[in-house]
Amino acid sequence: MTEWVREMFAIRGATTCGADTKDAVLTATAELLKALLEANQVSEPDIVSIVFTATPDITTAFPAEAARLIGLHAVPLLGAQELAVTGAPSLCVRVLLHVQASRPKADVRHVYLHGAHVLRPELALALPQQRQLAIAIDGPAGAGKSTVARSLAERLGLRYLDTGAMYRALTWQTLKRGIAVGDEVHVTSLAEELQFVLQDDSSLTLNGQPLGDEIRSPHVNSEVSRVAGYSGVRKAMVCKQRAMAQDGGIVMEGRDIGTEVMPDAPIKVFLVADHRERARRRQLELQSLGHTAAVTEVAAQIEERDIKDSTRTASPLRAAADAVTIDCTHLSPQEVVQTILHLVARKTYGL
């Protein structure tokens, strides 16, 4: 059996309170403390100290008092009030347990109850110097990249870019202008010519005009992989995407973001999902745009796209060496976003 050396580590937790009353605050805090102790099999002798913070709307009680109510009489306690942060949960208590015990840090279980979530990314991003965060999200078609990246950007107050929309827009313009999709030279020239601008509200414009559902038609879907496979096209697009990411403050998703576009991004995620689930999601997306397609047809298209994306010479689809892979087959978009928020807190802020 492995003998673990006793070492210090931190356990985090948060909960929201039903109301700003002493009973509601202490009951919620006591519930959180018990959950943290049980999840981590921690007893009072293991605890070095506990830090409590509360949002400014909690005024009727000191959350730290809950530690005494559940029998933690010898543990040093510290309480503080948080700064007001836009988008953070209201009536929220956060707890930080400093523990010394003989166990691997990987076994630590943080606990978030009643809609509470990691605050530090939002808190840090409230400071101007922290608005440079860059997050790269890659993965195959239908893995849920767009939904997750857009929601994550909203949570963190960052810009969002779906790089796939740029390749779709190029494909749409190629078809609209009557250029043969197989004419690599002219398609590449068009890619170099097009002007994309990512607005502060994350809307993407092409030559000054906003892009819409026209870039997501079945015809575009059937040709975009071929267009995106041209080395000259990818070189031109990567150059444009890097320019958009130059000042940070962005969540960018695609198939080569962590490997080519933003190789120095501190947060890199590679989303994967079961092939059948990806086909189901893509079918629902097409239906929402008014297009009908059998799930078997969509599955075949995804499989073909996977092969093209992963075997092309220019910027093939692959996870960056330092990317965190998340299988979202059985996870909701909200659960994936929460997982990435925890990753942001851990890797960027040392939590």
pLDDT at res. 128: 46
How many independent structural domains does the chain possess? 2
Assess whether 287 and 220 both reside in one domain. Answer: yes
Residue 270 · residue 326 · CB < 8 Å: yes
Nearest residue to 330 via CA among 259, 274, 257: 274
pLDDT at res. 67: 96
Assess whether 32 and 151 both reside in one domain. Answer: no
Range of the domain at 183: 128-349
Among candidate residues 90, 117, 144, the one where a domain is terminated = 117
Answer yes or no: is 73 within a domain.
yes
Assess whether 30 and 65 both reside in one domain. Answer: yes
Residue 349 · residue 290 · CB < 8 Å: no
Between CA 121 and CA 310 the distance in angstroms is 33
pLDDT at res. 127: 44
Assess whether 248 and 305 both reside in one domain. Answer: yes
Assess whether 197 and 70 both reside in one domain. Answer: no
Answer yes or no: is 1 within a domain.
no
Assess whether 82 and 154 both reside in one domain. Answer: no
Assess whether 186 and 264 both reside in one domain. Answer: yes
* DSSP character string of 279-343: HHHHHHHHHHTT----HHHHHHHHHHHHHHHHH-SSS-S---TTPEEEE-TT--HHHHHHHHHHH
Distances (CA, A) of 333 to 111, 183, 216, 278, 328: 20, 38, 21, 13, 8
Assess whether 320 and 195 both reside in one domain. Answer: yes
pLDDT in 10s for each residue of the chain, 351 residues? 444 455 778 898 999 999 999 999 999 999 999 999 999 999 999 999 999 999 999 999 999 999 999 999 999 999 988 877 666 788 999 999 999 877 666 678 888 898 786 654 444 444 444 457 899 999 988 888 999 999 999 888 889 999 999 999 999 999 999 999 999 999 999 999 999 999 988 999 999 999 999 998 989 988 998 999 999 999 999 999 999 998 788 999 999 999 999 999 999 999 998 888 888 888 887 777 788 778 788 888 888 888 888 888 888 889 999 999 999 988 888 889 888 887 887 675 544
Between CA 77 and CA 22 the distance in angstroms is 18
pLDDT at res. 349: 52
Alpha carbon of residue 63 to chain centroid:
31
Answer yes or no: is 2 within a domain.
no
